A = this chain, B = another copy of it.
């Protein structure tokens, strides 16, 4: 069994108004000096697979076909063994 910790982020060229709103809220909170905020998604997927190679292929397919929008988003993940 493998646990894929997937991070989905907006591509750098895509505007992120939600991130800008959070950045403004952080400034209002009094925690200054925040240069930039980008919002993304985080997904943990537990994959029943014997080999790391197979788990990696499945995670790639899930990200490409379902979780990430390839026009606007990038994805990255870490794969860790779990029970």
* A7 contacts across to B, CB distance below 8 A: 5, 7, 42
Shortest distance between the CB of A59 and any CB in chain B (Å): 9
A49 near B33: Cβ-Cβ < 8 Å: yes
Kindly identify, within residues 33 to 59 of chain A, every residue whose CB is under 8 Å from any CB belonging to chain B.
Answer: 33-49, 58
Q: Which residue of the partner chain, among B1, B36, B44, B62, contacts A31 with CB atoms under 8 Å?
A: B62
Q: How many of chain A's residues touch chain B, expressed as a range? A: 20 to 34
Q: Kindly list chain B residues whose C-beta atoms are within 8 Å of the C-beta of A31.
A: 58, 61-62, 65
Is A8 interfacial (CB-CB < 8 Å)? yes
- Say how far A76's CB is from chain B's closest CB, in angstroms: 10
Is A25's CB within 8 Å of the partner chain B? Answer: yes
